[in-house]
Chain A
């Protein structure tokens, strides 16, 4: 049972990130989503910093700093401004009810544990658990992108997915190029948010299926007369 302090801290931080993924799914207000996301970024930063300290890998502090300043501060503030500017305060349209989404989320957590545990028998307890949690966060991010139809929540879902990836990358001992990858991700996200600013993408145009463009190109006329 006793695995020491180091394990407990890492465990708590990753679990907090996972819990905040659930909080993201639970929230109905955009402002609440953004607050929960900022908090999640903070915990990711803390987890990265803790790994940097325990693994004695100072470059991970850079990852932590990026997560904290970029995703914990700049992006949520920018998105908040978009929300205000485009006047989309109202609650989020959900493709699946909140409770069902949460239930699906629990299912995904169980799934990722079932997936990760048997294949990582050789790795350390911390790595295994971290990986299972990270995969859950990734899957929950995907779930959020699928079930919350709004440009802002899609971006937030993507970023929480990416938080899971960072968690996985810092948790695996000695993974090279983590910093470069987090920078690459930050650039990607910066462009998304920038694009939302410029093009005033209020809604996600429609869903992930091909509806609008197909209708526009006259390829769905038979179904939608």
Chain B
């Protein structure tokens, strides 16, 4: 009985943790990137201030906006919050952890994207349409790549549930599994494309030729915009936790963890976030945004890595 209460508390903690940490991660990458480019950059907490500011402002709606347009931000936010909260961050000791299944997560992300694209087209402006069509093009390539990665995992581990994958990876001795490494690279490539980072999209600009995500949300304002911004921050956090939880699950507190293990797990998770944010900002600072038509090649590359991973899996199993 006491265990269940603690579990519940941990789950609530997890829910609030992702909500609180997501803007911090975004702030971290922005600040680091600015520093790497020789600017001073905004403070670590600037995203919080932005969100609060937006929440206070009145939401202006376009004249021909439908109910879909108004409700989409709430749904998107809810879906992404759920997705981010399902991924084990510092412990797998969560009541919802059986639901932390890779395929379910892909479905949640996909539903959010679908709503976003619909909302983008709803107002009928040209930018919303362009953004939606580009987003769908990216998605149509990113999702097969992601599923292929999952497929590789599932073949290898016989499971798509994140806790069991983490457990499996932890139980392996020092061993570098090539197909795993390929899947990791593919997943990182997908994550970069999906969370609208450089080189696929640039979250910091509103250049009409290149923007994807920003084009879709161009018409939003006030609390709607705040929700969408928070959701996209959460998406970044989701991918970071996913990659950390699947490929680097060290420090993740197990199901029967005590308070000390949980504390260690939390610290390790914070460290992982900092490392991931640093790597991301270094990567973004050192690379140029690619032309939109190159995105197909880029995600094709990710798909290919997933495919190669599968091939190598067969190779290493038949040896």
Contacts and interface: CB of A to CB of B under 8 A. Distances in A.
Given A99-B297, A99-B300, A109 B175 contact: no
Contact of B297 (A8, A26, A113, A117): A26
B315 A12 contact: no
B144 interface: no
A125 B304 contact: no
Given A26-B301, A99-B297, A129 B315 contact: yes
A11 interface: yes
B296 A106 contact: no
Contacts of B181: 12, 15
Interface stretch (B50-58, B65-73, B191-199, B306-314): B306-314
Contact of B296 (A99, A110, A125, A129): A99
Give the interface size class of chain A: 20 to 34
Contacts, number: 57
Nearest to A132: B315
Contacts of B259: none
A106 B174 contact: no
Contacts of A98: 297, 300
A2 B175 contact: yes
A42 to B, nearest CB: 17
B187 to A, nearest CB: 15
Q: Ordered nearest first, which 8 A-B pairs have the shortest CB separation?
A: A99-B300, A98-B297, A125-B319, A15-B178, A8-B176, A102-B304, A12-B176, A106-B307
28 contacts: A5-B174, A5-B175, A8-B174, A8-B175, A8-B176, A9-B176, A11-B178, A12-B176, A12-B178, A15-B178, A15-B181, A15-B312, A19-B185, A19-B308, A22-B304, A22-B305, A22-B308, A26-B297, A26-B301, A99-B296, A102-B301, A103-B304, A105-B304, A106-B307, A110-B311, A113-B311, A117-B318, A132-B315
Interface of B: 173-176, 178, 181-182, 185, 294, 296-297, 300-301, 304-305, 307-308, 311-312, 315-316, 318-319
